[in-house]
């Protein structure tokens, strides 16, 4: 296990590659980011979106939204700065999963004057697929993220709206290198991010689900995207102040409701992520046991790059909060999937990295074998 020499990014993140000098891709990108000619990027963006302004259509582009900080900022900036007419697309969770906060934030977007199309996949299929995803992969979001990410290009094809504007580039701004395209704003390899697995849904069919069941989970093929000239563009590449905190501040001023839960229950230092549901924190905890990092590390890395905290202070925060999750969220999740608490932790332990963690079944504890910021203990 190796840590980036600048931030606290570990090389255990899927699809990441460090430089020969031990620097992660996100830090390399940030060092270049400080020297960017933003007026030139703005010119590139304007020339790009001008090609998609379509007076014959009601909409110029599509944005996938959750009612969170990033998608709210995107919607406002695209409409008010780019002067485009976006259609917002939201794939909604079942009532047992959706938070009141998430519902209120979608309502806020509607009140801000946006047209929003919401879709609701069959709830029992959703639940059963979540259970398969969790039991087999230790990642309940494997199926739901397929549906979430597929819903946007599917609608773009159906409505003949070829431009999709997305948020951050996960390759440059996080380090998932498989998602990189030809340019920093090229998002057409988004399907290659770790959870989506290239849009592969064969594992769903093998689990016994019919073609009708899995229709919402089928990400359009590269051939379909090319045929309909669908273009995914990362908006974050064009914005010099794109960040967790800035997006939350801008969206908050415009009516976004934030979490009031304590960081010790979520690992979310600012209460600005996963506003629409509570179980992302649970998945972040499992990610921590799989790879040795979770949500707190992602926040801290951004703050280190922006020189808001030192690497040493970041280590303290990661040690204290990374991998935490409220027992209440775990209990609610178990009730929803109809599994016991024992089964839940059995799956978590099966998916825990034995290289990074020691599992003591007698005391029922999981302890790390690594030192944050340094690597595996000798």
The tens digit of pLDDT for each residue in 279-290 reads 999 999 999 999
pLDDT at 41: 93
As given in the structure block, the two tokens for residue 94 are 């079942």
CA atoms of 121 and 91, how far apart (whole Å): 8
pLDDT at 191: 86
Same domain, 267 and 227: no
Residue 7 lies in a domain: no
Same domain, 142 and 214: yes
Would the CA dihedral through 311, 349, 195, 330 be positive or negative? negative
pLDDT digits (tens, 9 = 90+) for 181-232: 778 889 888 888 877 888 888 899 999 999 889 999 999 999 999 999 999 9
As given in the structure block, the two tokens for residue 288 are 């921590």
pLDDT at 58: 94
pLDDT category at 167 given cuts 50, 70, 90 is confident
Residue 288 lies in a domain: yes
DSSP letter for each residue of 335-363: HHHT--HHHHHHHHHHHS-TTTEEEETTT
Residue 234 belongs to domain with CATH number: 3.40.50
CA atoms of 240 and 243, how far apart (whole Å): 9
Q: Domain limits at 227? A: 38-238
Is the pLDDT at 1 greater than 90, yes or no?
yes
CA atoms of 134 and 251, how far apart (whole Å): 32
- The count of other CB atoms within 10 Å of the CB of residue 356 is 21
Same domain, 50 and 110: yes
pLDDT digits (tens, 9 = 90+) for 135-158: 999 999 999 999 999 999 999 999
Cβ-count burial 119-132 (b if 16+ within 10 Å, e if not):
eebeeebbbbbbbb
pTM score over 0.85: yes
As given in the structure block, the two tokens for residue 198 are 């290239």
Domain count for the chain, please give it.
2
pLDDT digits (tens, 9 = 90+) for 283-332: 999 999 999 999 999 999 999 999 999 999 999 999 999 999 999 999 99
Same domain, 223 and 349: no
Same domain, 79 and 208: yes
Same domain, 332 and 183: no
Same domain, 121 and 58: yes
pLDDT at 310: 97
Same domain, 272 and 206: no
């Amino acid at each position: 296990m190796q840590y980036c020499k600048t931030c606290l990014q570990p090389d255990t993140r899927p699809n990441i590659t460090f430089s020969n000098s031990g620097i992660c891709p996100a830090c390399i990108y940030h060092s270049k980011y400080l020297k960017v000619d933003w007026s030139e990027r703005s010119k590139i963006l304007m020339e790009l979106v001008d090609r998609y302004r379509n007076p014959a259509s009601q909409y110029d582009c599509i944005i996938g939204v959750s009612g969170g900080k990033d998608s709210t900022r995107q919607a406002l900036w695209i409409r008010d700065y780019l002067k485009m007419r976006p259609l917002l697309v939201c794939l909604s969770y079942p009532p047992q999963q959706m938070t009141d906060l998430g519902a209120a934030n979608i309502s806020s977007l509607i009140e801000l004057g946006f047209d929003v199309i919401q879709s609701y996949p069959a709830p029992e299929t959703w639940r059963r697929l979540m259970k398969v995803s969790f039991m087999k992969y230790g990642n309940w979001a494997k199926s739901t993220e397929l549906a979430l990410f597929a819903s946007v290009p599917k609608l773009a094809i159906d409505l003949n709206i070829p431009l999709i504007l997305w948020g951050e580039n996960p390759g440059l701004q996080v380090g998932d290198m498989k998602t990189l395209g030809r340019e920093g704003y090229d998002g057409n390899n988004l399907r290659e991010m770790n959870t989506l697995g290239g849009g592969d849904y064969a594992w769903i069919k093998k689990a016994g689900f019919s073609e009708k069941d899995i229709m919402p989970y089928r990400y359009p093929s590269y051939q379909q995207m090319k045929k309909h000239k669908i273009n995914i563009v990362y908006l974050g590449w064009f914005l010099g102040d794109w960040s967790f905190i800035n997006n939350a501040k801008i969206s908050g001023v415009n009516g976004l409701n934030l979490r009031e839960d304590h960081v010790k229950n979520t690992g979310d230092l600012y209460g600005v992520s996963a506003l629409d549901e509570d179980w992302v924190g649970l998945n972040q905890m499992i990610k921590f046991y799989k790879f040795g990092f979770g949500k707190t590390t992602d926040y801290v890395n951004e703050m280190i790059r922006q020189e808001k905290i030192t690497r040493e202070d970041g280590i303290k925060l990661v040690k204290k909060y990374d991998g935490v999750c409220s027992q209440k969220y775990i209990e609610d999740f178990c009730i929803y999937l109809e599994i016991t608490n024992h089964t839940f932790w059995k799956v978590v332990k099966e998916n825990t990295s034995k290289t990074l963690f020691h599992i003591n079944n007698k005391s029922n504890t999981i302890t790390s074998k690594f030192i944050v910021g340094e690597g595996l203990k000798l």
